[in-house]
Amino acid sequence: MIQIKYETQRLSFRFFVVMLILFFFQVLFGLLLAAQHVDPTILAGTLNFNVVRAEHTNLGLLWILCGFIGTILFIGPLMSKRELAAPGLIKFLFYALLAVVVWNVGTQALAMKGIAGWWKGQPWLQEGLEYIEAGRAADVIILIGFAILCYVVLRTFPKRSEWNEIHWGLAIGVVALTAVWVFGMFFTERLDLQEYFRWYVVHYWVEGVWEVIHISLVGFLLVLMFDADVKSVGFAVFWGVVLVWLSGLIGNAHHYFWIGTPEFWQFWGSLFSALEPLPLIFCFWHIYLDAHQDAKPLKNFPAFAFLLGSVVLEHVGAGILGFTMTFAITNIWSHGTWVTMSHAHLALFGTFGMLGLSAAYYILPIIRRATNFDQRLGKLSFWLVFIGILGLSFGFAIGGTIQVFLYRTLGLDWFGGDIAPALVFAKGMVLIFGMVFFAGVCLLVYDLLTLGARDKAVATGEDMAEHVLAPVGSARPLSGWETGIWMLWMWIFGMIITFDLLSFNLSTVQQGNATIPYLMGFVGYSGLLLVSLLFVRRFLHAMQARGAPSLAAEGQSAT
């Protein structure tokens, strides 16, 4: 597709612009957090760590939602073959979103003075709960916004009898998005009950709703990019959604191991959430199949690179790293440490963030009438962002492994200043790779925002020629068999990480010998992340070799 078919598709543009701006600030806050980890006195008393972190998590959720909304608004008309319903409401949604962002960014700082705005037993300004820090006032506006999104999507879609599986996936996704949000809108006296419901929002969003939206959007973007068959992609979406929900519904129990809920959750949570990687493996496999539907050259490199990154990091970050810490006997060690953060960054940014960026790279050139844009900046920013997120997740993982040993084996606590010096290496890595990541983000935001506005003269031929590789070496065609081997390697390293966490149960480790967990952690995490990096490189190289002169010539001579 090279141009807009329906005028209302243009409404998605503004959401992508906001997404990019919020993304920039979110990463800036993240960088500040990394700096505060290294030196806790930075901005202490002016902008305390908890405020910066609340901005970091909140902006993260908000820009991911912007990406979803933008993508849905763009593909909605294509899926329905008509204009979006209620464009006025969508504009209202946009301004409501801006209001929520400004209001929420402002109110989070009140935590430094301990002001939550209690009225009628509810915290109206901010509520100090991880991920759902927004106060009740913002919560209500967000709920209204979600309701508008539901209305627009459902009214735009054709009659129910004409729905394919992608329609079903998206419809269920947006309705569940709204429904689940309600569980975060009550003050709960009991801590165990509060955590129980907080994970309704966080877990069911991420591992239920967002994944369903993710699968549907990835499916449709593949249809757009590779002219894959709608029906066969739709069927894959169906299986993806089924697997997500059948594993994720009770899989939520992996959050109920230690929050004060009974022991039986350890059984249910371990069992069902061990199945949660299944849909992700399936999705991983499908991007291979759909990308190899035909052998046409890759038209939009950055869009596909981010889409591939999204699916691979979902498999690695959410699937494999999630799997390693999902069993009660491994989770008892990883819980409450940086090990969790490694998983969270790869899974959240990797899966949903990269999807939004992929959609932006696909959609913005079309809206801006610049489909022949210079893709070099996008390519460079992809690699910076991808290497950055892998590197900082490695820092978190190694830091987390050290932390588990210090906390749980040596019984040292933060107060003694024992933990901070031991994590110097990991904190440094997070900061350094954070800067690599940030450099990528700056390039990317600049590239996408000025796309089509700058240097229209860039021709298609010159810059694209650079992307085409000869189909040899790392760019030889990628077979399904080879993809399977790559995936197998990822799981082998994933198993090493699982055994790394399990090894904290060994009596030799508990007697104070860290050799086994440190060694296995180092091998496991570095292996997993390197394989991911090399696989993505291999996949993209193979894609870039399509349309290489020799192949094209062969094709011509054959016909």
Partner 1 sequence: MSCQPGKLCWEGFKRTRALALLGLLAIIFILLSFWSFTSSRKQAIPRNVYYADYSAVEGKRVFQSFNCMGCHTIVGNGAYFGPDLTKLYGKVGPAWLEAFLPSAGAWPTEIAVQIKLNDAIIAEDAGVASIDAYKKKYPDAAERIARRGGHPTMMPNLPITAENVRKLVAFLKYTSEMNTEGWPPEPKIDGLATPYATPMPGAAQVAPASVAPAAAATPAASAGATESAAAPAAADDSELIAQGSQLAQTYGCLACHALDSKRTVGPGWGGLYGTDVKLTDGTTVTVDDAYIKQSILDPNSQIVDSYPPGTMPPMQGILNDDQVSAIVAYIRSLKGA
Residue 420 found at the interface with partner 1 (CB under 8 A): yes
Residues 525-554 that bind partner 1 (CB under 8 A): none
How many chain residues bind partner 1 (CB under 8 A)?
102
Residue 115 found at the interface with partner 1 (CB under 8 A): yes
Residues whose CB is less than 8 angstroms from the CB of residue 471 and which lie 6 or more positions away in sequence, other chains included: 477, 542, 545, 548, 550, 551
Residue environment code for 504-530, b if the CB has 16+ CB neighbours within 10 A, otherwise e: beeeebeeeebeebbebbbebbebbbe
| Cross-strand bridge partners of residue 134 | 126
By CB under 8 A, which span of 2-10, 226-234, 303-311, 428-436 interacts with partner 1? 226-234
Comparing CA positions, the residue from 201, 212, 223, 386 lying closest to residue 291 is: 223
Given 8, 71, 80, 252, the residue binding partner 1 (CB under 8 A): 252
Instruction: Using alpha carbons, list the distances in angstroms from residue 424 to 354, 405, 417, 431.
Output: 29, 15, 12, 11
For partner 1, give the closer residue by CB, 260 or 473.
260
Distance between CA atoms of residues 283 and 277, nearest Å: 10
For partner 1, give the closer residue by CB, 460 or 510.
510
Residues 460-499 that bind partner 1 (CB under 8 A): none
Distance between CA atoms of residues 334 and 403, nearest Å: 9
Residue environment code for 88-124, b if the CB has 16+ CB neighbours within 10 A, otherwise e: ebbeebbebbeebbebbbebbbbbeeeebeeeeebbb
Q: Please answer whether residues 164 and 231 qualify as being in contact, where contact means their C-beta atoms are separated by less than 8 angstroms.
A: yes
Distance between CA atoms of residues 255 and 239, nearest Å: 25
In the bound complex, what is the minimum distance in angstroms from residue 333's beta carbon to partner 1?
A: 7
Residues 160-189 that bind partner 1 (CB under 8 A): 165, 168, 187, 189
By CB under 8 A, which span of 6-14, 78-86, 177-185, 231-239 interacts with partner 1? 231-239
Residue 259 found at the interface with partner 1 (CB under 8 A): yes
For partner 1, give the closer residue by CB, 224 or 406.
406
In the bound complex, what is the minimum distance in angstroms from residue 335's beta carbon to partner 1?
A: 4
Distance between CA atoms of residues 210 and 187, nearest Å: 25
Residue 111 found at the interface with partner 1 (CB under 8 A): yes
By CB under 8 A, which span of 295-303, 307-315, 484-492, 508-516 interacts with partner 1? 508-516
**Angle value at C-alpha 360, between 358 and 362, nearest 5 degrees:** 70
Distance between CA atoms of residues 211 and 314, nearest Å: 9
Given 190, 457, 556, 559, the residue binding partner 1 (CB under 8 A): 190
Comparing CA positions, the residue from 350, 431, 443 lying closest to residue 30 is: 431
Phi, psi of 425 (to 5 degrees): -60, -50
Residue 257 found at the interface with partner 1 (CB under 8 A): yes
In the bound complex, what is the minimum distance in angstroms from residue 416's beta carbon to partner 1?
A: 6
Given 20, 31, 129, 430, the residue binding partner 1 (CB under 8 A): 129
Q: Please answer whether residues 341 and 395 qualify as being in contact, where contact means their C-beta atoms are separated by less than 8 angstroms.
A: no
Residue 204 found at the interface with partner 1 (CB under 8 A): no
In the bound complex, what is the minimum distance in angstroms from residue 59's beta carbon to partner 1?
A: 14
Residue 514 found at the interface with partner 1 (CB under 8 A): yes
Q: Tokens for 458?
A: 């860039």
Q: Tokens for 297?
A: 């050259």
By CB under 8 A, which span of 148-156, 249-257, 350-358, 523-531 interacts with partner 1? 249-257
Total count of residues recorded for the chain? 559
Half-sphere exposure of 340 (CA within 13 A, CB side): 12
For partner 1, give the closer residue by CB, 510 or 550.
510
Residues 381-410 that bind partner 1 (CB under 8 A): 402, 405-410
For partner 1, give the closer residue by CB, 483 or 544.
483
In the bound complex, what is the minimum distance in angstroms from residue 63's beta carbon to partner 1?
A: 19
Residue 261 found at the interface with partner 1 (CB under 8 A): yes
Residues whose CB is less than 8 angstroms from the CB of residue 439 and which lie 6 or more positions away in sequence, other chains included: 384, 388
For partner 1, give the closer residue by CB, 96 or 246.
246
Give the helix ranges, DSSP H, for 315-423.
322-324, 328-334, 338-345, 354-367, 376-404, 419-422
Given 1, 86, 103, 128, the residue binding partner 1 (CB under 8 A): 128
Q: Please answer whether residues 348 and 403 qualify as being in contact, where contact means their C-beta atoms are separated by less than 8 angstroms.
A: no
Instruction: Using alpha carbons, list the distances in angstroms from residue 472 to 74, 403, 465, 542.
Output: 37, 44, 16, 9
In the bound complex, what is the minimum distance in angstroms from residue 188's beta carbon to partner 1?
A: 9
Amino acid identity at 459: A
By CB under 8 A, which span of 67-75, 337-345, 373-381, 534-542 interacts with partner 1? 337-345
Given 28, 42, 179, 289, the residue binding partner 1 (CB under 8 A): 289
In the bound complex, what is the minimum distance in angstroms from residue 62's beta carbon to partner 1?
A: 17
Given 337, 342, 375, 483, the residue binding partner 1 (CB under 8 A): 337
Q: Tokens for 557?
A: 């001579």
Residues 301-320 that bind partner 1 (CB under 8 A): none
Quick note: the x/- pattern for partner 1 over 29-58, rule CB under 8 A, is: -------xx--xx--xx--xxxx-xx----
Distance between CA atoms of residues 133 and 143, nearest Å: 15
For partner 1, give the closer residue by CB, 55 or 447.
55
Q: Please answer whether residues 386 and 309 qualify as being in contact, where contact means their C-beta atoms are separated by less than 8 angstroms.
A: yes
By CB under 8 A, which span of 236-244, 363-371, 374-382, 487-495 interacts with partner 1? 236-244
By CB under 8 A, which span of 255-263, 296-304, 313-321, 453-461 interacts with partner 1? 255-263
Given 162, 192, 227, 466, the residue binding partner 1 (CB under 8 A): 192
In the bound complex, what is the minimum distance in angstroms from residue 286's beta carbon to partner 1?
A: 8
Q: Please answer whether residues 275 and 250 qualify as being in contact, where contact means their C-beta atoms are separated by less than 8 angstroms.
A: no
